[in-house]
Amino acid sequence: MDTPSDSPRKAASGPDLTGSQIGDYRLLRRLGHGAMAEVYLAEQCSLKRRVAFKVLRDELTGDETYVKRFRREAEAAASLIHANIVQIHEVGCVDGVYFIAQEYVEGQNLSRWIARHDRPDLPHALSVMRQVAAALAKAAAHGIIHRDIKPENILLTRSGEVKVADFGLARWPRQDDGVELTRVGVTLGTPLYMSPEQVEGRSLDPRSDLYSFGVTCYHLLTGAPPFTGQTPLSVAVQHLKKEPQPLASVRSDLPAELCRVIHKMLAKDPKNRHQSARDLLQELRQLQRDELGDEWPDSLPGWETTGPEEDTLGPIQATQRIQAVMDTAAMAARGRWRGGALIASMLAACVAGGLLAWWTTRPVSIIAGAAIEAAAPVPRQKSVQLQTIQAARLGTLAAWQAVIDNYPDQQYYVCWAKQQIARIHLLSRDFGEALPLFRELAEFDPANRRLRAFGLAGQAVVLTHQKKYKRSAEILKQLAPLNADLKDDVLRQAVKLAAQRNASEIAPPAG
């Protein structure tokens, strides 16, 4: 074992503990910090696994109240063994350094996801809501109130799982407290997401977490929390006195029942909210059955999470990006087709803007994609969710086709797979294969505005590639009322370029 760069106690008083050895843990780098603790990525040497390592701030170690609260967090979270709650591995103290070693979740928090992506569709929103509600139900069953539910404390994994983190403000009633550990001179929580009773300093029960979660859901679905202001006080007053803007007026595409559920969570009086997270779960399950009609999804692909370990590219991703740049440059240089600038611009935007997520999974390069597809068969998975996740990881035509072949009755996932196949054909300029797929998706369900917009946009782009400019222009007219429902940034840009190309080709000659 390497010799620590410094003793834990001495390092703890400095600005950064990176490189220190604290017990069985080597601290690799700092991930972030909160009011009470610094958080590091660490390696547990004995088990050779990575963990999130929380260290109580050095200036707080002399305050017994903070030490008790820090231990309380570990006790509360460690008692909650659940797939949707970040798990505690160990709590301890080494040379005066108080720490909690917990599950390291590779991905990103919901706040960062909201900032980087468009508003989610119904299946993804329901997946987040169901999983967080399940975590809150587990906590409530143990008498635990989280007290700080917000997007920053909801983590999205690469596989589509959702985990609730940071029980640092959790209240766990016990008979031997002797001190109210959740009140250390201030009202705790985050003003943007506080319940009215939390703002007023009244006693709390699990319904307070449901209010905070309602605010979080509103933020997820609209891109902004219902109440904002210049100061924490102004936001807090709105939680007490102001009603949020009706969700349906911001997201007209959402089911009325979902809007009702979220506004019920946001009721000022706890008596008017769901009386438990289990009640909320029941309503979500019924809503899912009514709207989507398939089995309840444990996870969904497409979160496109970017964790701290994804800053560097693996060999396949690097090959794909190099290939994309080479393909773009080659098409532009050769001028093989008059519409080449359209697809070149799409690829250039993907690479330069980090928008390779337009293809939802990995773009399939001539080199890497073919090698993956040829080298590995696509086995049937135990569930459609696992089959879809496998397809997202492989990113090949065969993998996505396996979703359709193995689970033809799973309508949502079949449509998802067909979208990915259409995108792959478009990227590889197999327009004859792409066009009928885009047409099928556009006509599949006229009431599904997002799917219809996707299908019409794809048709228009392909038809422009095929120099069928008048037909493409007709499709774009059908797309116009659905422009707001076209959520793919690069596809939107491709549609604009197609419209420009159509106009230049259809325009009557001058003079």
What token pair was written down for 48?
């050779």
Smallest CA-to-CA distance from 477 within 503, 451, 441 is with: 503
Contact 395, 372 (CB under 8 A): yes
Q: Which of 16, 148, 485, 488 is catalytic?
A: 148
Burial of 102 (0-12, 13-18, 19+ CB in 10 A): buried
Alpha-carbon span 110 to 128, nearest angstrom: 9
What token pair was written down for 402?
């396996």
Q: Look up residue 428 and give its DSSP letter.
A: T
Contact 503, 477 (CB under 8 A): no
Which residues on adjacent β-strands are paired with residue 39? 32, 54
User: What spatial distance separates the first Cα and last Cα of the chain, rounded to whole Å?
Assistant: 83
* Integer CA distances (angstroms), 259 to 44, 124, 209, 380, in order: 44, 15, 18, 37
Contact 31, 52 (CB under 8 A): yes
Q: Does residue 148 have an active-site annotation? A: yes
Phi, psi dihedral angles at 275 (to 5 degrees): -85, -10
Instruction: Report, as residue numbers or ranges, the catalytic residues.
Output: 148
